[in-house]
Amino acid sequence: MSFVKGIERVALAVPNLDKAREFFETWFDAKFQPEELIEDMGIRYRPFQIGKDRMELLEPTRADSPVARFIERNGGPGVHHVTFEVDDLDAAIEELEQRGGRIAYRHTYAPGVTFEGQVWREAFVHPKDAYGVLIHLAEKTSVSEA
């Protein structure tokens, strides 16, 4: 049985969130949610829907952010990561490690920090271990349930 519920979203690193938003709205009728800021990582982001699927745009707010480094390293914008949603992050990590996988980085937000009305718990599988894709494992809990 898989510990992954499904692909939650695909994140794109872009140098200019507003221009990228305009592109996806104009060409693909994307429906954007409000912009949010991940201050501790130096990222502005904006989730959106295309049909029944979710994506997000990530723009760096400072030169040392992971998104700024990604854009610099890759010579421009592109797919930054794919988010797999899990019910229980700790159990998912344990299962992944039992299968031989490795977590490269686990991110913990300060108490009370929410995004899109939810508390996020996150871990990342390094692209070197995942065919060049940064895989983001995310457990989301509604603020009312947290």
Q: Could you report the per-residue pLDDT of 114-142, keeping only the tens digit for each?
A: 999 999 999 999 999 999 999 999 999 98
**d(C-alpha 53, C-alpha 63), whole Å:** 30
pLDDT of 146 above 60: no
pTM (predicted TM-score): 0.91
**Domain encompassing residue 9:** 4-142
d(CA 13, CA 78): 6
- Count the residues in the chain: 146
What domain count does the chain have? 1
Strand, helix or coil for residue 15:
coil
